Homo-oligomer: A and B are copies of this chain.
Amino acid sequence: MSARTVQVRTAAPYELRLGRGIVHESMRAAREYSAAAVLSDDHVWKLHGDKLQAGDARVVIVPQGERSKSFEQLERVLDALAEVRLDRRSCLVAFGGGVVGDLGGLASALFMRGIDVLQCPTTLLAQVDSSVGGKTAVNLRSGKNLAGAFHQPAGVWIDVDLLTTLDDQDYASGLGEVVKSAVLAGEADFARLEQHAEALLRRDPDLLLDVVEACVRQKAAVVESDEREAGPRRALNLGHTLGHAIERAAGYGRIPHGVAVAVGMLHACVRSAHEGVLQDRDLPARIRRLCARLGLPTGLDELRTRSGAALSEAELADAMQFDKKGALWILPVRLGEVRAVASKG
């Protein structure tokens, strides 16, 4: 089946390929290199490993979950790449969710000071967000993603058929970023989500293709304008100032990233109204209704009830101090427009 293509015109441009049942095409590209290795996690590899058709490429497997975004695993991956004698003209295929993409991206950025990485995201969150844009990282004791690099992939293969096996919580996490993307993109994208919320929830593959494509086009446009997040790219952090604090305060891994972002975005709406930045007074209610239909929490209180995490104001304020993005709030003005506002403390 034919795939769709989205160009990302960064300093070193690359293509995103979207389709159903296309993930093995990444290995075809990988075989053009002097050698290739594959990084995956135990969960993804068990479910989907055969679909990649990795042949005799060395496959490095890390345990599923955020704890694999560590220096320990990073060194393990790099040692494995050296063992199979990859060289500067080799590549690494990162086949998994955000953890594998971030870890594999950073390993590629560092191995011999930089080899190509081919991203094959297997979660909705990674497909719509983290596989595009070249942000890679591992976590430090003090916080998430504190050690990393900008390293654009040489290509991204987005196979929406892989999403059928995603558990509901991980799928919800992706939906949070999907809503965020639509808020940034504007009325047309947001209205499509409103029109097709139920079909999206039941993972209709054709709708998913359209929605994921819209998200990556939106993200590609922002990344092209500001590859290293000096300015405009900060818009993508809508919902992330509080979102990261929620993840941190609850204990990493307890609340899915995109769910925290959705709640953070709702909070940013309230803040935006309060500070007189919000122009479209209906927007908060529209976002809240869409979140409800997509099974996302509609605010901090609901998140507290659902998750059982205390998430006190004091905890959240403290957690926010650790965020490397600083206390910069991205506040919605209307669909398709946000404003960055420095925190008053």
Chain A interfacial positions (CB closer than 8 Å to B): 71, 74-75, 78-79, 82-83, 85, 87-88, 109-114, 135, 137, 140-143, 146-150, 228, 321, 324, 326
Taking a contact as CB atoms under 8 Å apart, the answer to whether A75 and B110 are in contact is: no
Which residues of the partner chain B approach A110 to less than 8 Å between Cβ atoms?
Answer: 147-149
Q: List 14 A-B contacts (CB under 8 A).
A: A71-B71, A78-B140, A79-B141, A82-B141, A82-B142, A83-B142, A88-B324, A109-B149, A110-B147, A110-B149, A111-B147, A113-B135, A113-B228, A114-B150
Query: Oligomeric state, in number of copies?
Result: 2
Task: Tell me whether A113 and B149 are in contact in the complex, defined as CB-CB below 8 angstroms, given that A75-B140, A88-B324, A140-B78 are known contacts.
Answer: yes
Taking a contact as CB atoms under 8 Å apart, the answer to whether B82 and A143 are in contact is: yes
Which residues of the partner chain B approach A87 to less than 8 Å between Cβ atoms?
Answer: 324, 326
Taking a contact as CB atoms under 8 Å apart, the answer to whether B82 and A71 are in contact is: no
A114 to B229, CA, bound (A): 11
- Nearest chain-B residue to A107 (Cβ)? B147
- Nearest chain-B residue to A109 (Cβ)? B149
Taking a contact as CB atoms under 8 Å apart, the answer to whether B112 and A146 are in contact is: yes
- Identify A71's interface contact among B75, B111, B324, B326, CB under 8 A: B75
- Identify A150's interface contact among B113, B135, B137, B150, CB under 8 A: B113
Which residues of the partner chain B approach A71 to less than 8 Å between Cβ atoms?
Answer: 71, 74-75
Which residues of the partner chain B approach A74 to less than 8 Å between Cβ atoms?
Answer: 71
Taking a contact as CB atoms under 8 Å apart, the answer to whether B149 and A137 are in contact is: no
Taking a contact as CB atoms under 8 Å apart, the answer to whether A82 and B112 are in contact is: no
